[in-house]
Chains A and B, each alone.
Chain A
Amino acid sequence: TAGITQAPTSQILAAGRSMTLRCTQDMRHNAMYWYRQDLGLGLRLIHYSNTAGTTGKGEVPDGYSVSRANTDDFPLTLASAVPSQTSVYFCASSVQREGAEQFFGPGTRLTVL
């Protein structure tokens, strides 16, 4: 079982360009999340989805959008990248949002120049 996969592993992106980070899980989890992790800071929630067809904003949603067309996939799109979006991005999933362990993907290291 793969668990959660993310693609790409890393990417260098020119400022102003758009990009979609991909996330797929095979555990049939209802809830999915996108976090960014920056040095010296805790993980910060960008967007989440309680179940297929629904999404919600987290702590730092500006500049990012998500969709949840089905249970397995939860792509994160940067419409027009800026250098402050340089970070490591983690996708995660859990059976449900309430009090459940979150399983993390391997992460995408994004550099915006």
Chain B
Amino acid sequence: GQNIDQPTEMTATEGAIVQINCTYQTSGFNGLFWYQQHAGEAPTFLSYNVLDGLEEKGRFSSFLSRSKGYSYLLLKELQMKDSASYLCAGMDSNYQLIWGAGTKLIIKP
């Protein structure tokens, strides 16, 4: 079957760094997406990895290891506005996104 696993909730301190892990099992693989979703709002795109390695985009970076079925999202210099859910999604061979349940990130001052 297809499955995405990520932690349910994480807590971090303002100004710190946090790493949100995601493991995936998909039928075929056409990339790994990360989205941010604030409470009561729509998901918004953060990153897309299809090749192994680290992609950096400002304070956010995303890493992919296809051999391990593993990705992480790294958030640096945390701000209160980063409090949100972070959704990991793998794209399968039919170009369908398989979504994790999301990691709720709580930022404390």
Contact = CB atoms under 8 A, between A and B. Distances in A.
Interface string B8-49: 000000000000000000000011010000000111110010
A64 to B, nearest CB: 16
Contacts of B54: none
Contact of B101 (A40, A45, A99, A104): A40
Nearest to A104: B42
Given A40-B101, A42-B101, A42-B102, A97 B43 contact: no
Given A98-B95, A104-B43, A42 B31 contact: no
Interface residues of A, number: 20
Interface in A72-113: 90, 97-99, 101-107
B4 A103 contact: no
Contacts of B33: 101
Nearest to A48: B96
Contacts of A12: none
Given A41-B101, A99-B50, 11 more contacts: A42-B98, A43-B89, A90-B42, A97-B95, A98-B95, A99-B91, A99-B95, A101-B33, A101-B45, A104-B43, A106-B41
Interface of B: 4, 30-31, 33, 41-45, 48, 50, 87, 89, 91, 95-102
Interface of A: 40-45, 48, 58-59, 90, 97-99, 101-107
